Amino acid sequence: MTLEKAYALKSSGEAKALYDEWAESYEADFADAKGYSYPEAVAKVLIRNAHAGLQTVLDVGCGTGLVGQALCKLRPETLIDGLDLSQAMLDQAQMKSVYRDLFAADMNAPLPFPDQHYSAVASAGTFTHGHVGPDPLPELVRVLASGGLAAIGVNAQVYTSLDFASAFAALDDQIENFRTIAVPIYTGGQIATDDNLATIAVFNKR
């Protein structure tokens, strides 16, 4: 499997097929090999901005569980749920024993959670080339509790090309304290500089 194949995905069906096949070797082939530091960066941003009442976190596009693993190390008492399109990836995440529940779901459809269900929402690696665009953002805000915190990572090139800034601006009546933080996606020196940045959108639900 290659990053180029992931970036070339054109549908949820293609994404599910690729990640189902990639699941068992994903961390060795990609995360470890390329110094994939993005999940830890998102976890650190979330915890650094969280208040003492943080109880439940939804890890969106959790994959093999790297964000959840980082969150658990930083704040072990937090209850973390994971959501991903690929059941095979969720099976890998389950083995980390850091999630309360794991859900197989397509982010391009309504999420299987009630309104204001989570204290926080986090995501790393889901909003990128060939994956989902900004359309799911209202659903992420919907499931976030009033006063809840989001740390949503978006590939920096995609943030610009798909105009995530306008998508977040359209949610202005529902969110507050919006800011962005630039972080490297990789620290292993394996990826060209112009595709090694993510924009983490941080905000609270009104």
In contact, 15 and 83? CB cutoff 8 Å:
no
pTM for the full predicted model: 0.92
Q: What is the mean pLDDT of each run of 10 residues along the chain (206 residues)?
A: 60 70 86 93 97 90 97 96 96 98 95 97 92 94 97 96 98 98 82 77 98
State both tokens at 70: 């980082």
pLDDT of residue 21: 83
CA gap 72, 16 in Å, rounded: 26
The sign of the CA dihedral 11, 124, 184, 162 is positive
Residues ≥6 apart with Cβ < 8 Å to 194 = 157
Distance CA 106, CA 2 (A): 22
Cβ distance 162 to 133 under 8 Å? yes
DSSP string for residues in 4-50: HHHHT--SHHHHHHHHHHHGGGHIIIIIITTTB-HHHHHHHHHHHH-
Please report which residue ranges of 56-96 form alpha helices under DSSP H. Answer: 66-74, 87-94
DSSP-derived letter for residue 193 is G
pLDDT at 3: 64
Torsional class of 104: left (φ above 0), alpha (ψ -120 to 50), beta (otherwise) = beta
- What's the confidence (pLDDT) of residue 155? 95
> CB of 103 within 8 A of CB of 82?
yes
